[in-house]
Amino acid sequence: MMVDLVPVGEDVLEELLALAVAEAVPGEVMPPASGESADEARTTWTELRKGAFRDYHRRCRLSVTAPVPEVTWAVRARGRIVGAARLALVDGDPDAREVGLWLGESYRGHGIAGEVAYWAVAAAQTMDARRLVARTVASTPARTTLERIGFEVVEHDDGLLGTITLP
């Protein structure tokens, strides 16, 4: 399946938000909104969370004039926006990047995550990273995807932590 990663401009941002509201919960797709704790359930969409979602993606736009510690892209497959991917510095370590991905519920299980993970490895290499990290929910499909690409996966907290050393 052909998967593209596209910048999250304003037009794409609204399409991405509509997908998130329809097919994901806030806790899966974004950090806590201002005033929310990371431990809060965050299972419903509110206007505050929608605004925080927009602000998060605007802050994470790729810029050659103002480098950002985290960059997000929308994931396009079958001609539609199906989720979002990100690369972020890991605790300020210039040798490491963390990859993140969420997909709308109806797009999960179709091989898209694996395609994005291959992209993340290549993108992290262009950023001179020496290691790529992925944190995800504890599930067999997530583990299988990461291990197939070459991540070493261990159980960590309530989920999985995958690490791959880059050439």
∠ CA(13), CA(6), CA(66), 5° rounding? 80
Dist. CA 35–CA 37, nearest whole Å: 7
Q: What is the mean pLDDT of residues 117-134?
A: 90
Cβ proximity of 19 and 83 under 8 Å: yes
pLDDT at 69 over 80: yes
Interval 48-57: pLDDT, tens: 999 999 999 9
Q: What is the mean pLDDT of residues 2-9?
A: 93
Walk me through the domains of the chain, giving residue ranges and CATH numbers. Answer: 3-165 (3.40.630.30)
Q: State residue 56's pLDDT score.
A: 94
Residues 6+ apart with CB under 8 A from 161: 133, 134, 135, 153, 154, 155
pLDDT at 21 over 90: yes
> In whole numbers, what is the pLDDT of the chain averaged over residues?
90
Q: State residue 66's pLDDT score.
A: 66
Least confident among 17-21, 48-52, 77-81, 125-129: 125-129
Cβ proximity of 89 and 99 under 8 Å: no
pLDDT at 3 over 80: yes
Q: State residue 141's pLDDT score.
A: 86
Which strands, in side-by-side order, build the sheet including 159-165?
Answer: 3-7, 70-77, 80-90, 93-103, 131-137, 159-165, 152-156
User: Which pLDDT band holds residue 18 (cuts at 50, 70, 90)?
Assistant: very high
Interval 83-123: pLDDT, tens: 999 999 988 888 999 999 999 999 998 999 989 988 888 88
